[in-house]
Amino acid sequence: MTQSIIHTSQVLRQVVIGQVQGISEAQFDVQPAGFNNTIRWNVGHIIYWLDKYSTLSFGSPSAIPGHYETLFGSGTKPSDWNMTPPSKDELIQGLTAQLSRFTELTPEMLDNALEAPFVMGPFQFNTAGELFNFALIHEAIHLGTITSQLKTIQ
């Protein structure tokens, strides 16, 4: 089962990268009616949280700039930004770099217990695999949002 999670992470990320590559830079910053954020924010949010979940799951050091939390953490929004966000190319590089690190994952790593359970509201994650699998669900949700935003913009 854990090998399936690793494979799914690679497929999902390739789908995300393909979708993002096909979106123009100008469309990245349009906030359609009914949405709280932009495509740029959603892509950055995916990168930010995958980095955070990987750090918690595998003990790996953060591989993203520190200001990503200010730009893309939960509860943030582009209308509050007071710094220039990363370009589309920078975000694609971030997505691609994370995809490269997925090849380093092993089923044994996913079976490891977390140092402390990760609690999110009523949910608790006890193993690296549980939390990493949730990260994939989170990414897929934001991919759906990006797809919906793009359809609305067009």
User: 4-56: per-residue pLDDT in tens?
Assistant: 999 999 999 999 999 999 999 999 999 999 999 999 999 999 999 999 999 99
Q: What is the pLDDT of residues 73-97, one digit of tens each?
A: 999 999 999 999 999 999 999 999 9
> Residue 47: which CATH number?
1.20.120
Please give the pLDDT value at position 152.
96
Residue 71 has pLDDT above 90, yes or no: yes
Q: What kind and span of H or E run contains 115? A: strand 113-120
Amino acid at 44: G
Residue 109 placed within a domain: no
Residue 117 has pLDDT above 90, yes or no: yes
Residue 1 has pLDDT above 70, yes or no: no
Mean local confidence (pLDDT), 98-125:
95
- Give the pLDDT band of residue 154 (cuts 50, 70, 90): confident
Beta bridge partners of 86: none
Please give the pLDDT value at position 2.
75
**Residue bearing tokens 């990760």:** 118
Structural domains counted in the chain: 1
Show Cβ contacts of residue 4 under 8 Å, excluding neighbours closer than 6 positions.
Answer: none
Residue 62 placed within a domain: yes
Range of the domain at 141: 2-88+127-153
Residue 33 placed within a domain: yes
Mean local confidence (pLDDT), 105-127:
95
What does the alpha-carbon distance between residue 117 and residue 114 come to, in Å, rounded to a whole number?
6
| Token pair in block for residue 56 | 């918690």
Angle at 77 (CA atoms; ends 74, 78), nearest 5 degrees: 145
- Give the pLDDT band of residue 134 (cuts 50, 70, 90): very high
Residue 129 has, within 13 A of its CA and on its CB side, a CA count of: 15
Of 25, 23, 10, 48, the closest CA to residue 146 belongs to: 23
Residue 54 placed within a domain: yes
* Pairing outcome for strands 113-120 and 123-127: antiparallel
